Amino acid sequence: MLAALAALSATGLPALAHAAPLREGITLSGPPAIVSAPLIHMAETNALAHVAGRTQFVAWRDPDQLRMMAMGGKADVLAMPSNVAANLFNRGAGVTLLNVSTWGALWIVTRDKKRQTLADYRGEEIAVPFRGDMPDILLQLLAAKQGLDAQQDFRLRYVPTPMEAMQLLITRRVSHALLAEPAVSLALRKTKSFPLGLIAPELHRGADLQQEWGRVFKQQPRLPQAGIAAVGTLRQQPQVLAAVTKAYAQSLAWCHAQPLQCGALMAKHIDLLTPEAVADAIAVSQLDALPAARARPELEFFFNQLMARNPALVGGKLPAEAFYGPL
């Protein structure tokens, strides 16, 4: 046996060959939002070792950086708002949406617990991150459907990031902020902590944008807010796409089962987050990694509502079938 192995080695062929990974590495990227939790777990556990030599996670700060990373080859798989994925695809950027995983993670956090619908905020100042992107466009869509003009009936105070909106809220510079999880849970926890609890206001979950969506559109109280998309050359590797989709679903299931541990991993990668806030966010968010092709009816309903207001939000048209990843 040893002689045979030696003979094989002498020919220049490996005696015991292991299949090389399909990719040297995979870079995952996402925002400081709950959609990124499974990506971080995938990187921390090297969940894609059978298809990639290494897996890393890099956070993006704002939608402009997201677009630069998607079009500039700085990442292979990115968590992103569903309309941004459609917009990039329709502009020829080369995007395959693999799943929709975030179906409900947006609330207005308020100092007045009686304000439970959007109409209750008429005339009020609301801090809103990411002007012109999710969640701003959803706020404006839901307001318009109720006969409100978000620019006229609310006083919108735009800020660059959710964390900055949260800081305005807990330092009493605004009374209301539109936030996504886990920033919502982080704000609620921070106001109860020492020493912030001495100066911060009491905060509450106010208008639930998922409930608003269900009520005004007569749909289920959930909407396809965000998921993960493949870009670049990875889109041409079906085996890798399948591995990413499966690993994300498995990591999301692990986060549901181990929310504090999931939170600890997320806090390692994203400043200001705490394991407890992430665990709270997992408990209240609607998280379900549904393959994009199966989510297509709900995505197209959402995209049609956006196009009725501004076709540019999704790139002028519904994305073609090639946008939707394999089942």
Partnered with residue 26 across adjacent β-strands are 55
Residue carrying structure tokens 């006229």: 152
* C-beta atoms surrounding 122 within 10 Å: 12
**Side-chain-side CA neighbours of residue 109 (13 Å):** 33
How many whole angstroms separate alpha carbon 287 and alpha carbon 300? 19
How many whole angstroms separate alpha carbon 269 and alpha carbon 278? 12
How many whole angstroms separate alpha carbon 53 and alpha carbon 211? 43
For 206, phi then psi, to 5°, come to -100, -125
CA 9 to mean position of chain CA atoms = 49
* C-beta atoms surrounding 327 within 10 Å: 9
Give the pLDDT confidence score for residue 8 in this predicted structure: 39
Q: Tell the CATH topology of 106-217.
A: D-Maltodextrin-Binding Protein; domain 2 (3.40.190)
Residue pLDDT tens, the chain, 327 long = 444 444 434 434 443 344 667 899 999 999 999 999 999 999 999 999 999 999 999 999 999 999 999 999 999 999 999 999 999 999 999 999 999 999 999 999 999 999 999 999 999 999 999 999 999 999 999 999 999 999 999 999 999 999 999 999 999 999 999 999 999 999 999 887 646 556 678 999 999 999 999 999 999 999 999 999 999 999 999 999 999 999 999 999 999 999 999 999 999 999 989 999 999 999 999 999 999 999 999 999 999 999 999 999 999 999 999 999 987
Assign 80 to helix, strand or coil: strand
Assign 223 to helix, strand or coil: coil
How many whole angstroms separate alpha carbon 246 and alpha carbon 269? 22
Its CATH architecture, for the domain 23-103+225-323, is 3-Layer(aba) Sandwich (3.40)
Percent of the chain surpassing pLDDT 70: 92
Helix, strand, coil percentages, rounded to 5, for the chain? 50, 20, 30
For 29, 139, 154, 155, the CA distances from 136, given in Å and listed in that order, are 22, 5, 12, 13
User: Which tokens go with 188?
Assistant: 């609620």
How many whole angstroms separate alpha carbon 308 and alpha carbon 295? 20
CA 128 to mean position of chain CA atoms = 17
How many whole angstroms separate alpha carbon 297 and alpha carbon 301? 6
Contact indicator for 75, 27 with CB cutoff of 8 Å: yes
Residue span(s) of the chain under CATH 3.40.190.10 come to 23-103+225-323, 106-217
pTM of the predicted protein model:
0.91
Assign 142 to helix, strand or coil: helix
Residue carrying structure tokens 């959803």: 138
How many whole angstroms separate alpha carbon 294 and alpha carbon 213? 20
Contact indicator for 121, 128 with CB cutoff of 8 Å: no
How many whole angstroms separate alpha carbon 16 and alpha carbon 286? 47
Contact indicator for 224, 98 with CB cutoff of 8 Å: no
